[in-house]
A and B are shown apart, each in its own frame.
Chain A
Amino acid sequence: MFGFGRKKKQATDWVDLKTQPVPEGHHLLEVNDLKMYFHTQDGVVKAVNGVSYTLDRGETLGVVGESGSGKSVTSLTIMGLIDMPPGKIEGGDVLYRGRSLVKMTEEEMEHIRGNDIAMIFQDPMTSLNPVYTIGRQLSEGMILHRGYSKQQALQRSIELLQMVGIPNAEQRVKDYPHEFSGGMRQRVMIAMALACDPDILIADEPTTALDVTIQAQIIELMQKMQEENGNAIIMITHDLGVVADIADKIMVMYAGQPVEFGTAEEIFYEPIHPYTWGLNRSIPDPVIDEKRPLTPIKGNPPSLVNAPAGCAFSPRCPYATDLCRTEQPPTYVTETGHYSRCHYAHDASFVSANAPETSRTKTMLDHAADAVAAAQEGGEA
């Protein structure tokens, strides 16, 4: 932990996991019933409470939820970046290429971080060290994981900056973070994360702190890089709209639990959890009739210390019954793997009666059909 100037011994026998094949019967990343609790003075905060999903190369997973829903903590847990204590993994496992990240030593995790799994953060203004040049910060990971010399790393840094679309990269590499704009800094962050060609890129609200016009560029850049490198992306956001067009799978989180998980199509067209309906209703939609009211979800997320006895969403759910308020809902899984934690998810009539009309489109055809449907609905209203 703390030693004066002792040079870290590089474990020479370490073989990069990303160069090895995914073992039979495993996915690239498997999260199984992961539980991360924080033991604080006020009690136990169940920040992540039973999260499960799988991810393969080239896929994009969207993790959607409100502030404090545990979506960031989940990915920080995967990265091993939660301080323990106060955090404690109370159960579950994370398998990367069949190897448990949870059981790895700190030193092994240092090989994984930045090399196999990289992460970019919400606020590009504060995520870069102000006292070092961009080039130095970009080089660091490559020197560490790839054994590059400073010169090689700098050369590669310039290439990376060009790749993420920073003009005049040879000059800019010598600049300090404060000389870049927010969008440019997020590009630098992406370049830094992709420097060692990782398997998985975790993006924690990468566009939230940026101007709307820049947001689309950054998302586009991430997609383009994914096409070139074939890495998987975990995109964490509070905005269902952000992941709509890029995610293959979406996990909706509420109060530390995944309340619904499915393909992007399922989440948008056949959502079976009232919370997801609420999220869908609160997306402004330029396509559908302007008169459609935006319906915010009333109330606030529950305390993670004293969670409600029954379904965590029951205090805010307009359809909650006594059953919801007293008993934790089971996980209802459809044949496709689409799952929901709602007592009534299996009830097709309940779902069809209450699920919102949606206009999200995958194809022009759907788009048109929806527009017609929307027009009709608008007419009736």
Chain B
Amino acid sequence: MLRYIARRIIQFIPVFLGVTLILFVMQNVVPGDPIKLIAGEKKLDPQTEINLRASYHLIETDENGAPIFDEEGNTIETPLWKRYISYITGLLHGDLGRSYQQNGKEVTKILSQKYPYTFKLAVVAIVLESIIGIAAGMVSAIKRYSAWDVGVTLVTSGLVAMPAFWFGMLQQLFWGILMKQWTGGGFYLPISGTGGPYAEFPSWVYYILPALTLAAVSTAYTARIMRSQLLEVLNQDYIRTARAKGLSRRAVIWRHALKNALIPVVTYIGMDFGGMLAGAILTETVFNWPGVGFETYRAISQRDWPIVMGSVTVIVIVVMVINLIVDISYAFLDPRIRFDGSNNE
């Protein structure tokens, strides 16, 4: 078991380095001088510009952070590989650099303000997804070819084929406008334009529609995976064995089929949670949700690269850690993996 975990963690390292390298290269091939992005329309005097460059580690500095000049009195540009190393070192110390805007606020600080919103939204969404998806898929498999099964198949096909942001807008339209009488007009909708990026959402009801939107596609997939897995498991020989023992159909489903069928479903849901923590850019944009996804989107459109880099880095790490946890819990669920891992057979 320990060896299995260790192996997974070792596999994680090259992927992590590769990912950060790609991000770093992306940032540094972007056309445009960061200082111009920072300054915007303003004209900077040369000394301020040099200080800025030094503070963003774009030029070589001495131990005190003062810029180093060459013989001709020019600053020395820090080579890319040095910047990558200092970026990685910073990363390991929890330092993600500073924003080009927002008065050079630290990226870590910005993200730590945004993450609670994304996290809470993801939790609500994953709960909805698990309950609705698993239940729908189970009933669908057990009552195969029934009206319910056909309905679930149609609805899931539709949800999968729908852009999530459009689905979110349809919900705003339905609950906020068509059902105005019932919802009281000012329904707890973070409708775009009304909340604004720094709106507070004190009540849980604000989470319903964004969470439904965020969960829609994955719920459809969960239901489909659950259905097909359960159907496949119910065809297995050991189900016949259990029936031959005299167990009722219901007991067979609950005691024998469910655990086997749930293993891949749990894996999917776990991975999906990672995806949701990645910040649902589209959902958060449609609902003006003040989470990481929306922040990333804003940063990209304003070319605030340290924020983009920082949030993508954090997101990728979160996703990879979640996947690692899912892999490990998979081993706990399935005894076959558990033993393969420890005995290395």
Contacts and interface: CB of A to CB of B under 8 A. Distances in A.
The answer to whether A and B touch directly, with their CB atoms under 8 angstroms apart, is yes
A130 B239 CA distance: 11
Nearest to B241: A127
Query: Dominant SS at the B interface?
Result: helix
A127 B256 CA distance: 12
Interface in B1-38: none
B143 interface: yes
A157 interface: no
B244 A118 contact: yes
Nearest to A3: B250
Contact of B247 (A112, A130, A140): A140
A144 B245 contact: yes
A81 B243 contact: yes
A113 B248 CA distance: 10
A27 interface: no
B335 A192 contact: no
Contacts of B336: 130, 176, 178
A367 B255 CA distance: 53
Contact of A140 (B242, B248, B254): B242
Interface in A344-358: none
Contacts of A113: 243-246
Contacts of A145: 246
Interface string B249-285: 1110111100110010000000000000000000000
A119 B245 CA distance: 8
Contacts of B253: 2
A144 B242 CA distance: 12
Nearest to B143: A2
Contact of B259 (A107, A131, A192): A131
A127 B238 contact: yes
Interface string B215-255: 00000000000000000000011101111111111110111
Interface string B152-178: 000000000000000000000000000
Given A130-B336, A131-B334, A8 B251 contact: yes
B339 interface: yes
A100 interface: no
B245 A126 contact: no
B333 interface: yes
B314 interface: no
Interface of B: 139, 142-143, 236-238, 240-251, 253-256, 259-260, 263, 333-336, 339
- The 4 A-B pairs of least Cβ separation, nearest first, read A114-B246, A114-B245, A113-B246, A126-B237
Given A127-B238, A140-B245, A189-B241, 5 more contacts: A110-B246, A131-B260, A132-B259, A178-B335, A178-B339
Interface of A: 1-3, 5, 8, 79, 81, 106-107, 110-115, 118-119, 121, 123, 126-132, 140-141, 144-145, 176, 178-179, 189, 192-193
15 contacts: A106-B248, A112-B246, A113-B243, A113-B244, A113-B246, A119-B244, A121-B237, A121-B241, A121-B244, A123-B237, A129-B260, A131-B334, A132-B259, A178-B335, A192-B241
